[in-house]
Amino acid sequence: MPNTNPARARDFTDPRIPNRDECVLRYLVDRWAVERPDKVHVVWEDGEEWTFADVRRRITEKAAGLEKLGVRQGDFVAVWLPNGRDALLAFYAINYLGAVFVPFNTAYRGNLLAHVVANSGAKLIIAHPDLVGRMGEIDRAGLAQLVLTTQGDAPDVGLEVTRFDDLAGDAVSPLDRPIQPWDIQSIIYTSGTTGPSKGVLSSYLHMFSNAGPESWPMVGEDDRYMCVAPIFHIGGMGPPFVMLARGASVAMVESFSTDRFWEIAARTKATVVFLLGVMATFLMKRPPSPEDRNHTVRKAFMVPLTDDAPAFTERFGIDIYTIFNMTEISSPIVSEANPVKRGTCGKARPGVEVRLVDANDCEVPVGEIGEMLVRTDRPWGMNSGYNRNPEATAKAWGNGWFHTGDAFRQDEDGYFYFVDRVKDAIRRRGENISSFEVEVEVCAHPAVREAAAIAVPSEFSEDEVMVVVAPVPGQAIDVPELARFLIDRMPYFMVPRYIRVMDELPKTPSAKVLKADLRSEGVTADTWDREKAGMRVRRESFAG
């Protein structure tokens, strides 16, 4: 939110750096509590509303309580909670002190839990009692204090225990120094699909740039963003912050529900939602209902953009936008409303530079596939590296550009198209195949809920294409019929040879499919082989 008030002096001479009260949580909370005390900032799923004045009162009380436990500016504080009031209060209170919010995925356990505990460097953790028992199974590294939420009991894991409900204080002490836009605001852990999760160091300015006015100009101060993603994920902790930066409101929902999505959106008066492509698919595969337009939502971010996006707009009465983003960057690719180009992610937004390069960081020609590299013209506009992992930081930031690990192509009009994770590309008989594009076609089948395309060894050379699919609840997948469906839709070289059906695809704690696990399992005993079934696909021939 640019500083348009001439009466307010600028904090910084660099015009690319917004004022502290435009991008730093503590000063935003203080500002809106004065300027908009009665405006609602948070609506909960059960209908309870918190105004900006309520928010400031609640979080300063918790911040004062954390300060009594020894939390100071710059400390890392772990939070291990499901979505809810306690999680949001913890997030805001930690940042209000100038400390660093370090959320853990509620599915963590064992070696993964031990890894993030050690990597975080946190001495205090705020946790739900139902999760605490898992800490008894690991080395708790430097953890010394446990703050328990709710009234439930938890096993003794050798930590000093305080109740979250008992955190209170009359006032927060003055800061040692002003909290700066470039100070670290959070550590968000990546999915760990190829190795141990990396802790992404994010500044306040990174979070502001991630979905601020330059990145998402279509979202304004009168909008209400319905957040259904977990708060330990960038998709869950980002929305409250970016709506706070706008002096706007957020509807906090426990989790995504296909059956209740529109009813919750209507009840909370949400105007903006974020939909993973699979969520949009779930909603489209529900039977049509008179309630499909009985809601207040007017804008949705759909990632990735599905082929039935125009039908989604028509059915639900919503303008669709799409973006490309990841935890480490700040929405460099954003589309216009209702993009007509199939499969696009949009164009590079103002303030970012984007290049597509080969393995040597040399740019590829327009139309060819290359890894996407990104940098911003705003200092601290992207991640500040990986916590306690200088090797990964140096590798990701090679040659002064952030390497996304994602392969794209760009058309002559400047639109970008996601092709694949670089590590997930498939090469079959001289053809490069995008696993993403295979998955899009497979998920177009009405009985398929989700799909993962992987490469498996061929008895000849290179790869064969295999897809692992899960059915829509209450339906069964007829595998030969699915193969015939795909033969009619796909180039011959993309048609999967192998199809395996599972009830659920294996996922990381942040719900990304574990393709590495599927590749290691390979062609299992329950995998259907199209060629052994006598269903061969031949190269098309054309008469001249």
Inside any domain, residue 537:
no
Where does 267-390 show beta strands of DSSP type E?
Answer: 272-276, 299-303, 319-321, 323-324, 333-334, 344-348, 352-357, 370-376
Percent above pLDDT 90 for the chain: 78
Query: What is the value of pTM for the model shown?
Result: 0.84
How confident is the model over 197-218, as a mean pLDDT? 94
User: Which band of pLDDT confidence, cut at 50, 70 and 90, is reported for residue 489?
Assistant: confident
* Mean pLDDT value of segment 395-406: 96
For the chain, the helix, strand and coil percentages under 3-state DSSP, each to the nearest 5: 30, 25, 45
**Is 230 in the same domain as 371?**
yes
Q: Of 189, 257, 190, 249, nearest to 220 (Cα)?
A: 249
Where do we find the tokens 């092709």? 419
In a domain, 42, yes or no: no
Establish how many alpha carbons lie within 13 A of residue 471's alpha carbon, considering only the half-sphere containing its beta carbon: 13
The answer to whether 464 and 428 are in contact (CB under 8 A) is yes
Residue 163 belongs to a domain: yes
pLDDT of residue 4: 44
- Specify the number of domains making up the chain: 3
Of 503, 502, 439, nearest to 465 (Cα)?
Answer: 439
The answer to the question of residue 12 being in a domain is no
Q: Is the pLDDT of residue 410 over 50?
A: yes
Both 290 and 312 in one domain: the answer is yes
How does pLDDT run across 79-99, given as a tens digit for each residue? 999 999 999 999 999 999 999
What single-letter DSSP state applies at residue 433?
E
CA 136, distance to chain mean position in Å, is 29
On the question of pLDDT at 542 being above 70, the answer is no
Rounded to the nearest 10°, the torsion over CA 200, 205, 208, 213 is -140
Instruction: Identify the pLDDT of residue 449.
Output: 93
Instruction: Compute the average pLDDT of residues 133-157.
Output: 92
Q: Is residue 489 part of a domain?
A: yes
- Residue labelled with tokens 């992987």: 454
Phi, psi of 224 (to 5 degrees): -130, 120
Query: Token digits for 378?
Result: 């705003």
- How does DSSP assign 2-31, residue by residue? ----TTSPPS-SSTTS--HHHH-HHHHHHH
Instruction: Examine the domain organization and report whether 400 and 493 are in the same domain.
Output: no
Q: Which amino acid is at 133?
A: G
Whether 416 and 469 map to the same domain: the answer is no
Instruction: Kindly write down the DSSP assignment for every residue of 35-67, as one continuous string.
Output: HSTTSEEEEETTS-EEEHHHHHHHHHHHHHHHH
In this structure, what token pair is assigned to residue 5? 């008030």
> What tokens appear for 371 in the block?
């890894």
| Assigned domain for 542 exists | no
242: phi then psi, degrees, rounded to nearest 5: -70, -30
**Which range of residues forms the domain containing residue 491?**
425-529
Examine the domain organization and report whether 246 and 309 are in the same domain.
Answer: yes
Q: 451 and 401 in one domain?
A: no
Does 122 have pLDDT greater than 90? yes
Tell me how long the chain is. 544
Identify whether 501 is part of a domain. yes
- For residue 136, what is the domain's CATH number? 3.40.50.12780
Tokens representing residue 57 in the block: 């009162």
71, 167: one domain: yes
Dump pLDDT digits (tens) for 151-163. Answer: 888 999 999 999 9
Tell me, yes or no, whether 218 lies in a domain.
Answer: no
Res. 190: pLDDT tops 60 = yes
Residue type, 254: E
CATH at residue 474: 3.30.300.30
Across the chain, how many H-helices and E-strands are there?
15, 27
Of 157-161, 202-206, 392-396, 538-542, which gets the smallest average pLDDT?
A: 538-542
CA-to-CA dists, residue 156 to 144, 161, 173, 446, angstroms: 12, 9, 32, 49
Same domain, 241 and 156: no
Q: Does the pLDDT value for residue 1 go beyond 50?
A: no
CA distance 411 to 418: 12
Confidence of residue 434 (pLDDT cuts 50, 70, 90): confident
pLDDT tier at 7, thresholds 50, 70, 90: low
Q: In which band, very low, low, confident or very high, does the pLDDT at 462 lie, cut at 50, 70 and 90? A: confident
Q: Does 88 share its domain with 166?
A: yes
Q: What are phi and psi of 230, to 5 degrees?
A: -65, 145
120, 165: one domain: yes
SS3 call for 312:
helix
**467: three-class secondary structure by DSSP:** strand
Same domain (yes/no): 261, 169: no
Residues 163 and 228 in one domain: no
